[in-house]
Every structure is written in structure tokens, then in C-alpha cells.
Amino acid sequence: MLVSMENLIEAFKIVATVAILFVWFVRYDNIKREFIEYKYPPWFRDLVGILKISFVVMLHSSIKEVVLMGSFGIVILMCGAVFTHVKNQSDFRKYIASVIMFLISSSIFYFTIIN
């Protein structure tokens, strides 16, 4: 059975949502430690969290422009996350999740544009 691109993108939206909600709610203590380790202030951590959660909610809109905004927002935030990890010379194991989320969000953005 072939998976249609639409179904794959819907699956990507679900994966992105579950991953971000899990990290920002269940594993929030890890987020706090990472932002302290990278010397980012608490207000910045909270802003990033609010934006990430808002953007993943936007992925599930029936309005194409809202999905584009949400997926592009996640792409930008993941660029920032990868940049932070590279700048701080983190092990790749530590930031592979942000690379994967960048790829997932980029795919959602691209296939939403061409649809």
C-alpha cells in the first residue's frame, strides 16, 4: 500500500505536535537546564516555548496560510536550535532532534506550498 503525500504530511504534523508538546511539558526540566547551560535568559526560554506550541497548533489549521506560518515558524526556531548546538559544540546526539524537526517542518512547509 502506498502512502500518499497528503497522509505523510498529516503524519509529520502529528509527530511534530507530539514531540514539541512532550518536550515542552513532560521534559520541561531538561529545557530549563539546556537554556541555563547555553546562557539564555528565562524570558527567552518562555518565548521560545510559547512560539513552538503556537506554531504546532497552527499546523492543524484548515487555512493554508496559517499552516505555512506555523511550519515556517518551526523551521526558523529549529535553525536557531541547531545554530545554538553547533556554536556550543554539542554532540550531534544532543541536537539530532532539532535537525529532524527542521526537516519535518521544512517538508510540511514545502508540500503545503505546492498543494
Total of domains in the chain? 1
Record the pTM: 0.92
Per-residue confidence band for 112, with pLDDT thresholds at 50, 70 and 90: very high
Task: Give first-to-last CA distance, the chain, whole Å.
Answer: 22
Range of the domain at 50: 5-114
CA 90 – CA 8 distance, rounded (Å): 31
Cell triple for 99 = 535537525
**Mean pLDDT within 81-87:** 95
Per-residue confidence band for 2, with pLDDT thresholds at 50, 70 and 90: low
Give the tens place of pLDDT for each residue, 31-42: 999 999 999 999
pLDDT at residue 27 in the model: 94
Give the tens place of pLDDT for each residue, 7-50: 999 999 999 999 999 999 999 999 999 999 999 999 999 999 99
Cell triple for 75 = 523551521
Looking at residue 67, its amino acid is V
pLDDT at residue 1 in the model: 53
Question: What is the percent of the chain where pLDDT is above 90?
Answer: 93
